[in-house]
Structure 1
Amino acid sequence: MSKLEFAPLVRRIELPDMVAYAGATWDWHRLHYDPAYLAARGLDRPVVDGQVFGAYLAIALRGWLGPDSVLTDLSFRFRSLVFAGETIRCRGELRSVQDGVADVDLRVEVVEDGRLAVAPASARLRLPHE
């Protein structure tokens, strides 16, 4: 059986999105918003909080497998920094479905240059009963 690849979820991450996420998670690390702090570290733009990729992957998974699916496991590894103003593409391939449980292989790419932001990544979801 070949893997089913889902339509990608594409989102541009702007500074207001980052501030909203920081407010929701109480993560106010200066790396995500402070120009002076960033400049002292040789960075010209705020760095996206890596945990936001888990949120985007969860959004993508629920879109692909339905709002009644239940995400029971999500695992991912960061590969590179993503900066404010960049666009990400969440990709997923259905690896298997067995006994109402779907296993999905995931990755997050930066659209502008194709670098991997998150990989490897995987998820397990319990599918709704019909």
Structure 2
Amino acid sequence: MSVAARSVTVGEGPPVLERRIDLPDMIAYAGATWDWHRLHYDPEYVNARGLPGPVVDGQVFGALLAEQIQDWLGPRARLRRLHFRFRNPVFAGETVRCTGAVSKIDIGGLIVVEQRVEVPADGRVAVAPAGATVEFGP
């Protein structure tokens, strides 16, 4: 259920978003974005480079962070800014957890949410710092 802009408070956060990212998901994403680098889908290619599996495309995390905000705030919320920095790779078959909290609400009504993405299995931080600036439209 989405929330109204006037009901959001500093310290509050969107519901946690958890998602397992499997190889078929990664291949579908590669097809949708035309990013066919073998690093994202070819187990033999990545194993030859000493990696445990195909690496999740970094832009997937931007999509998940945006999804987390939109699901929470609803269709009237518009992302004015989305930023994120990669910290560690995530591999096919791993589950990620997106968390966040409102850090600021300015006089004009813009909501600033600080976010991060972790791999719950081992606590690895995949993306941080990250966050969104959101406004509400008519």
Fold-level match, TM-score > 0.5? yes
- Residue 79 of structure 2 is aligned to residue 71 of structure 1: yes
For 1:32-84, what per-residue CA distance to the aligned partner results, in whole angstroms no more than 9, with x for missing partners? 11122112101131110011100000000101211220011011100000001
Q: Aligned-pair distance for 1:102?
A: 0.7
| Residue in 1 that maps onto 2:126 | 117
TM-score for both structures, normalised by structure 2 = 0.88
d(CA) in 2 for partners of 1:58, 1:101: 16
| Residue in 2 that maps onto 1:12 | 20
CA contact (8 A) 1:76 1:119 kept: yes
Q: Aligned-pair distance for 1:5?
A: 2.7
d(CA) in 2 for partners of 1:44, 1:80: 13
| Residue in 2 that maps onto 1:103 | 112
TM-score for both structures, normalised by structure 1 = 0.93
Identity %: 58
- Residue 136 of structure 2 is aligned to residue 127 of structure 1: yes
- Residue 92 of structure 2 is aligned to residue 84 of structure 1: yes
State the 4+ residue runs in structure 1 displaced beyond 4 angstroms: none
Q: Aligned-pair distance for 1:12?
A: 0.5
Q: Aligned-pair distance for 1:2?
A: 5.5
CA RMSD of aligned residues (A): 1.4
SS at match of 1:83: coil
